[in-house]
Amino acid sequence: MKNINNINLNIINIIFIMFPLSFIFGNFYINLNVIFLIFFGFIFYKEKIIKFKIDFIDKIVIIFFFYTFITLAINIFEGYLANEIFSKLIISKTFMYLRYLIFYLVLRVLVSQNILRLDWFSKICSIFAIFVCLDIFIQYYFGKDIFGIEPVKALTDGIFIARHYSGLFREEYIAGGYLQKFSLFCFFLPFIIKKKIFYKILIQSSFLLFFIFGIILSGNRMPFFLFILAFFLYLLLDKSLRKHIFIFFIITFLSFILSYKIFPQVSYNMSNFYYNGQKLVKTFFIKDLTEEPFETWNSPYVTEFYCFKYNWKRNPIFGGGIRSFRDTAGCGSHPHNYYFEILTELGVVGLSIILFLVFSILYRYFVNINSTFQSNLNLKNSELNILPFFLVLVVEFFPLRTSGSFFSTGNSTIIFFFLAIFVSFISNKKTL
């Protein structure tokens, strides 16, 4: 019996630590991993899942998923009254999205019961983050990455140059986003945390430079700023590093300036980022964007932001349903901001539930257990695992950012994966 339990434990943990790799391979493998974790979680630990007592935060998550069906029912009913054919896509996406609730609850049980090896997961995240970053450097220096993949070149100022080095992500420009999330685990590896302060600063400064240049070369501007935000938030939470924050600020500033001198595409990417940012801000102060010259608003994200303004006014309270944004002619698949997308598709009520969830988590963290994190030097290894999950979640819900779709496979998996693990920590006072 003991051997069987060990086999079950190893199988579920292998599935668990494969998530960082599945994000490299794409949505099919992410979905496969989600399904495997749910399936084997129920097969091996059905009794624990059935007997698991949900807490207050779990109830908010369940209410959120229940509300998506309320929104669906309201929109179907309104469509029926208006004699309109309701989108089958919205219906199917709403039912399919329910898998993330099951995924969340299974993860909650597995983490709360100390079944999953979070130390393995942290090490695997670190290994793949370092590998992806090295692959980007190799692609930049040799013109091909480890697998012979060349960067995609675009016409810029009359010259074809590579603005994005995505490495093994090929034409998908998401390498920076991958590094922004999974590289954070490198800073919490036991061999770093246990070092004396001088060596700790030296090693973490090296990792900081390593990943800054990797994300800059990826050409992903928002992940770069989010990575910096997450890292400095970590410094503020760590009492042992807080007083040395100026050193890290100088390192970050100099590395950013140096990148302008070394990498020719950085200047263009950052200038373009600033220019598009101005357009996004302007979008919110224009009543009717169609009255503006076409070239003023037909640029990245501006059209989608304008579509958000149009779509939200149609169903401001309950929203139009999951993935309803793409049903509007001329609009993209989503408005490139979590909060705008939730407002459009789940309305003010849906956004209120999400905000209540986020603030409830932050309140419990800072009020109940923040005192235990004042110095990482005094924490056990099991307690250190919570910080990267916390940082990823905070940055993921940072309001002033452009993003992928909240309801997409990759982002939903990240959100409910990290949420389940973090909630398991802060809900179990004995663990902390």
Out of 23-32, 50-59, 402-411, pick the least confident: 402-411
Domain boundaries, the chain: 57-116+332-427, 120-274
Residue that wins the pLDDT comparison between 293 and 325? 325
Angle, alpha carbons 266-339-359 (nearest 5°): 110
Q: According to the model, what pLDDT value does residue 295 have? A: 44
pLDDT higher than threshold 90 for residue 132: yes
Torsional class of 291: left (φ above 0), alpha (ψ -120 to 50), beta (otherwise): alpha
Interatomic CA distance for residues 61 and 420, integer angstroms: 10
Backbone phi and psi for residue 162, each to the nearest 5 degrees, phi listed first: -85, 110
Average pLDDT of span 84-106: 91
β-bridge mates for residue 162, sequence order = 153
Q: According to the model, what pLDDT value does residue 375 have? A: 41
Out of 56-60, 295-299, 412-416, 419-423, pick the least confident: 295-299
* pLDDT tens digit sequence for 261-291: 777 666 666 666 555 655 655 655 555 544 5
Question: What is the DSSP secondary structure assignment for residue 287, as one 8-state letter?
Answer: S
Across 235-239, 301-305, 328-332, the highest mean pLDDT is recorded for 235-239
Q: According to the model, what pLDDT value does residue 348 have? A: 94
Beta carbons of 13 and 40 less than 8 angstroms apart = no
Beta carbons of 409 and 27 less than 8 angstroms apart = yes
pTM of the model: 0.88
Question: What is the DSSP secondary structure assignment for residue 144, as one 8-state letter?
Answer: S
* pLDDT tens digit sequence for 55-68: 999 999 999 999 99
Residue that wins the pLDDT comparison between 273 and 304? 304
Q: According to the model, what pLDDT value does residue 151 have? A: 86
Name, in order, each residue with C-beta under 8 angstroms of 224's C-beta and a sequence gap of 6 or more: 176, 180, 212, 215, 216
Q: According to the model, what pLDDT value does residue 282 have? A: 61
Residue that wins the pLDDT comparison between 43 and 79? 43
Q: According to the model, what pLDDT value does residue 376 have? A: 40
pLDDT higher than threshold 70 for residue 160: no
Interatomic CA distance for residues 31 and 39, integer angstroms: 12
Per the prediction, the chain carries an average pLDDT of: 83
Q: According to the model, what pLDDT value does residue 17 have? A: 95
pLDDT higher than threshold 50 for residue 378: no
pLDDT higher than threshold 50 for residue 293: no
Q: Report the relative pairing of strands 153-156 and 159-162 from DSSP bridges.
A: antiparallel
CA dihedral 111, 114, 116, 121 (to 10 degrees): 90
Q: How confident is the model at residue 20 (pLDDT cuts 50, 70, 90)?
A: very high
Within the chain, how many helices (H) and strands (E) appear? 20, 2
